[in-house]
Structure 1
């Protein structure tokens, strides 16, 4: 502890600063020790699920990181493909050389009201997803809202899990978004985040707004 406080600083404040510095030094030493054991890298399987907002937003955040690092990446949208979204505009108009964008869906199932068509579109999206994941040049693939297609059994969960387990290149990252992720996918994943709904403006009668929802 300092014998005298810096000019203009009361002794009590100086003591608080010293305690804080000692605490942070211990925390940094412990953190550095943990980080020293983390040397491996691998292509991750990432699942963003849960009832809360932000699953796709988090996925597109990772896509933008890849673009910033000049890592080739790709997006396959399984449900919201018919939407004119900000992220789609941005990627297609400014970053198409680094990121492929494939909008394969036509809207939520209650909008299309045609299960056979929904299944066909989901399967077409999955075939494109497999093609992109197999491509050794592509480092990150976002499968946006694929969990919805899996939830309604438009796609076979066992087939999806088997492909990701057995055929995904070792250093390729794949993120899968959408609520109600199935347990086999959660078990396979390296990183799973569940967005918890606490409060949403839709319940107060506010519709989805540009820049926030799309």
Structure 2
């Protein structure tokens, strides 16, 4: 087969794929605010959520972040948003550190409940288009928040066109069932297992 024959076959194959793709896209007409869940043992759940936050900022879409559990630690995302994009993205910290650091269940529960109240207000704000609930799955896992109440709010009170992304390991089945989009980050390798500590620009 000559290079010209190969190029012609490739072009014909791509033409068929494009036609099939175009037919499929004609059926995708609905727009709605999505409930999205990033979970799993692999790295990248919060990173993906913040990636969407920065897309919103780039599109001049007002957005907000409520950070549960790990709020006690400094992060690059928080510093960048508060320092340069505070007019486009509200950033709420509702936690004082990971549960094994705080060692105070009552205080952790109190902070999670306060964060959820703030999250509901932001989701209901008609100005805001996207809300990231970072690490809320951890608060749900430890029953600091009522999963039924959270799911009921998302399904029945969230404005139709508002996107909400919930991150963290061990997302509960009730949340997975309610979500429009679920991504599970799979752990294959992690440098922590080889004694490498969390590093700026990678983990925070």
Asked whether the two chains share a fold, i.e. TM above 0.5, the reply is yes
Counterpart Cα distance in 2 of 1:179 and 1:12: 52
In the alignment, is residue 159 of structure 1 matched against residue 143 of structure 2? Answer: no
Deviation of 1:175 after TM superposition, in Å, equals 0.2
Task: From 14, 27, 32, give the equivalent of 1:24.
Answer: 14
Counterpart Cα distance in 2 of 1:157 and 1:93: 33
Counterpart Cα distance in 1 of 2:72 and 2:7: 56
- RMSD after superposition: 0.7
In the alignment, is residue 36 of structure 1 matched against residue 26 of structure 2? Answer: yes
Counterpart Cα distance in 1 of 2:128 and 2:167: 19
Aligned to 2:203: 213
Counterpart Cα distance in 2 of 1:50 and 1:12: 47
Deviation of 1:132 after TM superposition, in Å, equals 0.3
Aligned to 1:146: 136
Counterpart Cα distance in 1 of 2:40 and 2:5: 45
- Unaligned 5+ residue runs, structure 1? 1-10
Q: How does 1:191-202 map to 2 (within 5 A)?
A: 191-202=181-192
- Post-superposition Cα deviations, 1:164-213, rounded to whole Å, max 9, x if no partner, equal 11100000000000010000100000000000000000001000110000
Q: How many residues of Structure 1 are paired with residues of Structure 2 in the alignment?
A: 204
Structure with the greater alpha carbon radius of gyration: 1
Deviation of 1:16 after TM superposition, in Å, equals 1.2
> Counterpart of 2:61 in 1: which secondary structure?
coil
Aligned to 1:180: 170
- Unaligned 5+ residue runs, structure 2? none
Task: From 39, 59, 71, give the equivalent of 1:69.
Answer: 59
TM-score (norm 1): 0.94
Deviation of 1:14 after TM superposition, in Å, equals 1.4
In the alignment, is residue 57 of structure 1 matched against residue 57 of structure 2? Answer: no
